[in-house]
């Protein structure tokens, strides 16, 4: 568990405080297990897992035996995952086509210029929302071919060694132009790039928050006619990776932008983009019998029409021996398998 993940969730610190107040340190394994069981129905398994990690970390810092390593606590977590499930709820990726619809909905106003730049830079740089709002003017360098963006710290760079990524110019919706339009209109030369705008239309000197990014993504998804509840700040990063994978980009080139440490983490994006590529069912999904008449059926045709195709293939499989017989026998067979 990273320090960022720990500090991002106040409930984790609350869990530690509850353990400490109930029995002081060290906490008894039974107390931790009881706490987990009490919150199993109201908190996700992943959330409880982070709380377990935080409790264990607090004991390690104090030099005490860790109660979360006991079989009782582990068994409780296994039971929670089996009962309530542990699958992550994945947000919809704002793929390239959808991103164009979202930025097209941006109004011709100061806030619209900011939001358009934020969406395009977040997408083109595969940025996490915390990385997006942390950008300063000094982190951006414009070149003839695009932008050089320095990410000074991230979820996978806790020691803030920093890394520079490239954002290419675009033809239809250019992130470089969008950012320049926003900076010029807002008069920003240094400091935070993405800032709040008050009701009077004045650009503030502070930064947007992580939550602001999520709200902006949801708002523009709704404006473009998408289900806003399925979108989040992560949709920008996921959208870039899914779009790149769909276009056949090298996974290593994708890692240059996304800064993933493991190929396995990226594999899910590639798999999502290629679910229908060379599909195992392609060989048979287009096969259906020709239309029958009083003379019976004579051969196969290659078209695919949803439910009709499913019935046709089922007929072919189940009624193969009757294919050369009159149409009424095939019709009867259809009724049987239906």
**Catalytic residue positions, numbered:** 128, 155, 234, 237, 260, 269
**At CA 86, angle to CA 84 and CA 89, rounded to 5?**
105
Measured distance CA(101)–CA(110) in Å, rounded: 19
Measured distance CA(146)–CA(52) in Å, rounded: 44
Measured distance CA(265)–CA(237) in Å, rounded: 13
Measured distance CA(125)–CA(117) in Å, rounded: 12
* Contact present, 54 and 42 (Cβ < 8 Å): no
Residue 132 buriedness (CB in 10 A; 0-12 / 13-18 / 19+):
buried
Q: Which contiguous run of DSSP H or E holds residue 122?
A: helix 110-124
Residues in the chain: 338
**At CA 92, angle to CA 87 and CA 94, rounded to 5?**
150
Measured distance CA(222)–CA(94) in Å, rounded: 12
Measured distance CA(172)–CA(295) in Å, rounded: 57
């Amino acid at each position: 568990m990273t320090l960022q993940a720990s500090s991002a969730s106040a409930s984790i610190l609350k869990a530690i405080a509850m353990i400490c107040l109930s029995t002081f340190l060290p906490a008894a394994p039974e107390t931790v297990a009881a706490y987990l069981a009490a919150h199993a129905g109201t908190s996700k398994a992943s959330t409880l897992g982070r709380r377990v990690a935080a409790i264990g970390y607090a004991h390690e810092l104090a030099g005490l035996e860790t109660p979360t390593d006991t079989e009782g606590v582990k068994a409780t977590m296994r039971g929670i995952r089996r009962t309530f499930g542990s699958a992550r709820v994945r947000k919809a990726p704002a793929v390239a086509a959808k991103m164009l619809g979202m930025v097209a909905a941006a109004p011709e106003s100061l806030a619209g210029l900011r939001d358009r730049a934020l969406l395009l830079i977040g997408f083109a740089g595969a940025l996490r929302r915390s990385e997006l709002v942390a950008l300063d003017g000094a982190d951006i360098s414009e070149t003839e071919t695009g932008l050089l963006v320095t990410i000074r710290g991230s979820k996978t760079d806790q020691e803030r060694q920093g890394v520079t990524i490239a954002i290419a110019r675009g033809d239809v919706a250019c992130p470089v132009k969008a950012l320049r339009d926003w900076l010029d209109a807002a008069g920003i030369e240094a400091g935070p790039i993405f800032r709040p705008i008050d009701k009077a239309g004045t650009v503030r000197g502070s930064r947007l928050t992580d939550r602001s990014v999520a709200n902006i993504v949801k708002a523009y998804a709704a404006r473009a006619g998408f289900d806003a509840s399925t979108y989040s700040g992560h949709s920008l990063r996921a959208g870039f990776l899914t779009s790149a994978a769909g276009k056949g980009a090298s996974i290593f080139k994708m890692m240059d932008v996304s800064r993933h440490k493991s190929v396995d983490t990226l594999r899910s994006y590639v798999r999502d983009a290629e679910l229908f590529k060379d599909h195992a069912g392609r060989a048979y999904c287009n096969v259906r019998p020709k239309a029958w008449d009083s003379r019976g059926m004579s051969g196969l045709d290659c078209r695919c029409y949803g439910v009709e195709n499913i019935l046709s293939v089922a007929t072919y499989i189940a009624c193969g021996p009757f294919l050369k017989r009159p149409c009424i026998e095939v019709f009867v067979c259809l009724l049987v398998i239906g």
